[in-house]
Structure 1
Amino acid sequence: MSMILLKPISRQAYCICILLVVARGAAFSQNSPSEPPKKRLDGLSTRYREGKLPDTLYLRGIDSIAPDLLNDDSLVEELATYRQIAFGNKDLGRSRMMYYRYLAYFAINKNNYGSAIYYSEKNNEESVKIGVFEKEGIPHSDLFAVSVYQNNMDYPRLIAKYDGLLPELEKLPAKVSGGKMSGEQGYVGLSIIGTAVWAFYKTHDTVHAERGIRLFERVMEEVNKQPEKYKKYLTYYNYDYHIMCYQRARHGGQMDSAQYFLERSIDEVRSPDYLKHLQAAGMIDTYSEAFDFFYDRRKLDSARYYLDEVRKIPDSQIGFAGIRQGILLEGESKLLAAKGDYPAAYSMLEKLYRMKDSALHAVNADKDNNLYALAEAENARKELIQTEAKQQRTEKFNFFLVLFFTLLVIGGIAGFLIYRSGQRQRMLNLRLGLARNFHDEIGPMLLYANTLVKKELEERPSPRVEELKSQVAYIMEAVRGISHDLKSNELGTVEGLYKDVTVLLEKIRDSTGIDFTIRMSDGSRVLGHLQYMNLRKIIDEMVSNSIKHAQCKRITLNLKATGRRLLIVYSDDGKGMAPEQLPGGIGMQNIQERTNLLNGDFQLHNAYPEGYFIDVTIPLL
């Protein structure tokens, strides 16, 4: 009795299941609550629809449940809401990445590899945007596509893809020596080379296979010169190389050499230094290859050992169960047949054929769906052309209608602007008239009063007369400020004060080396001329004190408009003011007087020799 035995599942089939997980499990770190994941998903969805969960908690909840539902249609339905949130906020780049990643996983588990390749490319785009994948180098989605072609034994497309990437792959040795290749870029590039070498041997193209191995060796020659930089990936690189050497030896009939390289590969994939997120897949791959190798050499005990090793590997989160089950069924059927138990072997093969027929049906369905989508798009295009003729006729009518209303609106706006301009001119004339009255009538009166006070102070000096003189001076300054505000079309602002002070501090930095930090909030708040000029003089006085007395290296100033008040906080990193400098200090007196003139509040917080800071608060207009 003879049997048809199936070829073991190929090496990169497992990489399809894990290729996207380069974020080192960040998306899949989760607890394992006893509640079934489907029930948890329903509860999460209900709470979100009822408004009991904010968007961020809903996204986190989906991220925690999704890994357990990557083969369940209910996840795809729920991802519609997930997508709406993720693409509605530009700050949720990670969630957009995970959205495409979940769809790629789902497509893999359904054997819809065309869809999986598309979603992997979208995942790659989003991953690059948020810095999970590197922008430079060959995209991870290309490795994913190559892996899919290999799994489907589509060697012509795999080799065509490799040829397209070859110019970039040939740059890898120079990139390594120039320090421009990261470990992750090496993982992608070397995996593609290894996959292509595998395909070349399958198509008996030993010439191109040898070229691929030599390119791999050139890269590794440079990598081994920088072992510390590539330490994390070195075991994986060596594993890939030894698998290629195994394939070359086995293809050439050198079975002892092939066994040596196979055992080297097994040691490396078991090593704790092997890439953790690839280790389970690598073990399944290598053990199944070892089973096939020893079975072909009729070393059935060794073949049994490695089949049992496959059985010991636990299911992963992304669908190893189906792949592993296929390997186990195929291996058991071979071992049973080798012992002469053909009925049992046939039963195993029948189960395996049913599994593979289901997968083939799913792949063909995916192709049919794609063709349907193309046909639907073509039909939509034709309908669009038919409706464009109708739209063109209506667009002409709409154009003239819109033009009429546009001219009507423009005329109305022009009339309103002319009327408003006349109002503004009348208001400006009124303000100019008031300013002239202040200047021509109140100004001379104050000058005369100031002259009388000076004369009285010369003949009969007293503190009260001195105070009167100061008050008259302040009144004159206030009148000048009001007159200036009335004549000016532009009022001062907190931002204008900020810019003026910044220019002053920059000049001081250039001449003295004293650096500065200045901050501002709500710069649009208006300052009267009197406020603006006095605040500028107050700040000038503070800066002057810092330069003369504080021995500082940095000045810090904060202009903060809150509500109807402006707060100025000034400090430097100097030693502060000695207590003997405070009484009678002209600078501090000037600041106090100008603050009083603005109906403000002045606070000095001196902690000599640890420094000091000043708070000045004034009411805003």
Structure 2
Amino acid sequence: MRSWLPVTLFLTALLCLHGSASASDKDSLQIFFRRILLQNQQQKLPDSSYIKKMDSTVFHCFDRTDFPQLLEQYRHIVFKDTAFRERRIIYFQYRGIHSVNNNSTGQSIFWFGKMAEEAKAQHNTPRELAANRAIITIFIDNEDYEKCYQRFDSIAPLLKAQADSAILGKSKGIMIENVCGILGAMTSLFYERKKYTQASEAEALLHRVMEAVNSAPEKYEPFLSKIRISATEAAFAKARYGQKDSRLADSAFNKTLYWIRSSITMSKAMKPFFEYDAYKSAIEYFMEAGRTDSASKYLALLDQMDLPIIRARKQQFYHEQMALLLRSKGKLAEAYAHNRLALSLKDSVLKATLTDRDNNVYAQTQMEYSRALLNEAEDARDKAEQKNIYLILLIISKLVLFTVLFFWLRQRQRNKFLNAKLRMARNIHDEIGPQLLYIKLLARKEKESVAAASPHLVQMEGAIGTVMETVRGLSHDLKSDLELSTTQLYEDVRGLLEKTQALTGISYQFYFNKKDKPLNYFQYQHLRNILSELVNNTLKHAEWSRIDAMLQVLSRRIRIVYTDNGQGFEPAYEQKNGIGLANIRERVDKLRGELSLRNNYPEGYTIEINIPFS
């Protein structure tokens, strides 16, 4: 059975050991961690440098009880910045290794499970395989075989895909090392548990991978020795449990030792752990087979090994096997002493394991992790809300400032414009007006001095009068702040009709199509006077009770239709062209419009006026 030990060694040596540590003893480590944390918080040490320093030192800290606190800033950085997204996998891995070293099965499974999830999300297949390998090894060590089978079944498609890639020469060494580690461990477990069908399937897949490796061994350095160790350990389990062939078992065991001892790519820190695992399996096998001399040989070698991380478990196994060995030789007193030592060591390990299981540490760890994420999310949300409030206040302040500035500048421009208009109005009124009046007087005097005035002179006098009236209108437009328009015209005339109705009782209907277009002073005055004159004409004649008028604004002209329910104009009055009607015609001509009169005396009349805008 594969021990739990290679989990720590595989993952630690492969992923954690990036160089010599900056500090080794606990006091200097504590000072070191405080210093780099303070430098990072003061922004004197970049996040990338902080991560590198932690990675180079964390290998020495897996036995520390404050290990999670040491990793807190590391966690904060890698989960805050997407540039360090891959290091999130390493964070989960560190927590898993620490949990394994502290005999916390529930925690270790949780953290390696999170590592597998994160690696899968990032499409990091090597680390996904490494995490699943760790979980499987923990399940085997704790004899939780059903969960081990379930985990293996869940990753079987991934293992097959990697085997196919290896045959095609597309898979990397680190992939194959983890694939072989998983397949080797599961093959051994299936043979031990007498599940020969599953063992054969796992072994067949392992053989496929090994054929690809042996066809191009140079491609899989520096992982080649570990790949071959996984294969020979599977062969040892098959010979021991399946074939029950001591010769094949001895051969597989010797090959395992050979690959461990002859490897030049495996670090010196890793080799003792691989040797311990091989010794442990061989000692159990030799004791079962009654080969006590071989068992004694490897027990002595195992006792000489210094493995600080797993010292308690190593000593427990050593004393258990020594008790069995001495009892088989009849040395009961010595066997009893070793047995007592084994039980005392086992009690400490068992207590940690039972505490872990009784308290359901997996669930606790999951809850604590979820709570930590929730708190962090709430803090981030509060900061975001506070930031949004500041941002909104800033935007509102800027909008208010820009609005005030806009209206101030607009008013300033308006004042400049109005002052310019007033200057122009004064200049037109004071300079051009008198000159035109002088020219008009000269033309009138010339006409009076000549017995038969020239028709051109009369036309000139009329034109001068029109120009003077236009100049007067321009001057008024420039001085006035009121914007004259068709809507303003409608309101003025409607006001006149309402006053007329109040004084005389006459009813009216005044239609306006509500299209607003600007009018200059000249147009506005004449149009208002035309409509006022039409109302006056209605009031001068008897037998009326209602006025109907329409002001229609079209694209290029204004259309006015006016009628009342009186008798209309007598033919003689129409021929005389009364003063009111003459004034209306004169104003229409000045506006270059057209007037049509439909007189249906004595049944009323209708006047239609069309005035162009230009």
TM-score (norm 2): 0.55
- Give deviations 1:422-471, integer Å, cap 9, x for gaps: 38978999xxxxxxxxxxxxxxxxxxxxxxxxxxxxxxxxxxxxxxxxxx
Which structure 2 residues correspond to residues 141-540 of structure 1 after superposition, within 5 A? 141-251=131-241, 252-273=243-264, 275-276=266-267, 278-315=270-307, 319-367=309-357, 368-370=359-361, 373=364, 412=400, 415-416=403-404, 418-419=406-407, 422=410
- Residues of 1 paired with 2:356 and 2:30: CA distance? 27
In the alignment, is the contact (CA less than 8 A) between 1:194 and 1:244 conserved in 2? yes
1:74 CA drift (Å): 3.4
Contact 1:13 1:151 in 2 (8 A): yes
Deviates more, 1:114-123 or 1:167-176: 114-123
Counterpart among 109, 113, 127 of residue 105 in structure 2? 113
**Alpha-carbon deviations, 1:77-114, whole Å to 9, x = none?**
33334544555555556875654444223211211122
Structure 1 residues 379 and 70 mapped into 2: Cα distance closer, same or farther (>3 Å)? closer
**CA 1:419 to 1:19, structure 2 compared with 1: closer, same or farther past 3 Å?**
farther
Q: For residues 94 and 419 of structure 1, what CA distance do their matches in structure 2 show?
A: 55
Structure-2 change in CA distance of 1:364 and 1:41 (3 Å): same
Segment of structure 1 superposing worse, 304-313 or 180-189: 304-313
Asked if the contact 2:191/2:238 (under 8 Å) is kept, the reply is yes
2:30 to 41, 60, 71: 41
**C-alpha contact 2:180 2:227 (8 A) present in aligned 1:** yes
CA contact (8 A) 1:114 1:366 kept: yes
Report how far residue 147 of structure 1 moved. 0.9
Q: CA separation in 1, counterparts of 2:321 and 2:118?
A: 40
How far apart are the structure 1 equivalents of 2:175 and 2:27?
37
Aligned to 1:72: 64
Tell me, in whole angstroms, the C-alpha distance in 1 between the residues paired with 2:72 and 2:201. Answer: 47
CA drift at 1:163: 1.3
Q: Equivalent residue of 2:201, what SS? A: helix
What letter matches 2:263 in structure 1?
A: P
Does the CA contact (< 8 Å) of 1:250 and 1:258 recur in 2? yes
**Separation of aligned partners in 2, 1:220 and 1:148:** 25
Q: Would the alpha carbon gap of residues 254 and 414 (structure 1) be closer, same or farther in structure 2, given more than 3 Å must change?
A: same
Could you say if the C-alpha distance between residues 31 and 333 of structure 1 is closer, same or farther in structure 2, counting changes exceeding 3 Å?
farther
- The 1:427–1:347 alpha-carbon spacing in structure 2 relative to 1, beyond 3 Å, is farther
Equivalent of 1:29, from 20, 31, 36?
A: 20
CA distance in 2, matches of 1:137, 1:109: 20
SS class of match (1:351)? helix
Deviation at 1:45, TM superposition (A): 2.5
Q: 1:86 to 1:407 in 2, by over 3 A?
A: closer
Q: Does the Cα contact within 8 Å between 2:106 and 2:362 map onto a contact in 1? A: no
Q: Could you list the per-position Cα deviations for residues 521-543 of structure 1 after superposition, in whole angstroms to 9, with x for gaps in the alignment? A: xxxxxxxxxxxxxxxxxxxxxxx
8 Å contact kept, 1:146–1:161: yes
| Cα displacement (A) at 1:181 | 0.9
Mapped to 1, the partners of 2:176 and 2:370 lie a distance apart of 45
Range 241-250 or range 112-121, more displaced: 112-121
Q: Is the 8 A contact 1:329 1:348 kept in 2?
A: yes
> Structure 2, unaligned stretches of length 5 or more?
376-392, 418-614
C-alpha separation in 2, matches of 1:304 and 1:11: 21
Amino acid of the structure 2 residue aligned with 1:271: S
| Superimposed CA distance per residue, residues 379-437 of structure 1 (whole angstroms, 9 cap, x where no aligned partner) | 99xxx9xxxxxxxxxxxxxxxxxxxx9999899578447527738978999xxxxxxxx
Deviation at 1:234, TM superposition (A): 2.9
- CA RMSD of superposed structures (Å): 4.5
Tell whether the 8 Å contact from 1:200 to 1:208 is kept in structure 2 after alignment. yes
Q: 1:310 Cα deviation (Å)?
A: 1.8
Cα drift, residue 171 of structure 1: 2.4
Q: How far apart, CA to CA, are the structure 2 residues paired with 1:343 and 1:376?
A: 49
Unaligned runs of 5+ in 1: 1-9, 385-404, 430-621
1:231–1:343 Cα change, 3 Å: same
Q: Is the 8 A contact 1:20 1:120 kept in 2?
A: no
Give the percent of matched residue pairs that are identical in Structure 1 and Structure 2.
Answer: 21
CA spacing shift, 1:157–1:331, aligned 2, 3 Å: same
Matched, 1:20 2:11: yes
Distance 2:4 2:401 in 1: 69
Aligned CA distance change for structure 1 residues 416 and 373 (closer, same or farther; 3 Å): farther
- When residues 420 and 326 of structure 1 are mapped into structure 2, their CA distance, relative to the original with a 3 A threshold, is farther
Q: 1:171 to 1:44 in 2, by over 3 A?
A: closer
Asked if the contact 1:287–1:310 (Cα under 8 Å) also holds between the matched residues in 2, the reply is yes
Displacement after TM superposition at 1:371 (Å): 7.0
CA distance in structure 1 between the partners assigned to 2:416 and 2:84 by the alignment = 52
- Does the 8 A contact of 2:92 with 2:111 survive in 1? yes
The aligned residue for residue 467 of structure 1 is: none
Q: TM-score, normalised by structure 1?
A: 0.54
CA pair 427-127 structure 1, distance change in 2 beyond 3 A: farther
Return the letter of the residue paired with 1:280. Answer: P
State whether residues 47 and 53 of structure 1, in contact with CA within 8 Å, keep that contact through their aligned partners in structure 2.
no
Distance apart, 1:129 and its partner CA:
9.8
Whether the aligned pair in 1 keeps the contact of 2:167 and 2:209 (CA below 8 Å) is: no
Q: 2: distance between equivalents of 1:428 and 1:329?
A: 105
The residue correspondences of 1:52-63 to structure 2 (distance < 5 A) are: 54-55=44-45, 63=55
Q: Residue 549 of structure 1 corresponds to which residue in structure 2?
A: none
Aligned residues of 1:18 and 1:278 also touching (Cα < 8 A): yes
User: How does 1:554-565 map onto structure 2 within 5 Å?
Assistant: none
Give me the whole-angstrom Cα distance separating, in 2, the residues matched to 1:250 and 1:47.
52
Q: Which moved more, 1:337-346 or 1:360-369?
A: 360-369
Give the distance between the partners of 1:136 and 1:71, measured in 2 at CA.
26
How many pairs does the alignment contain?
396
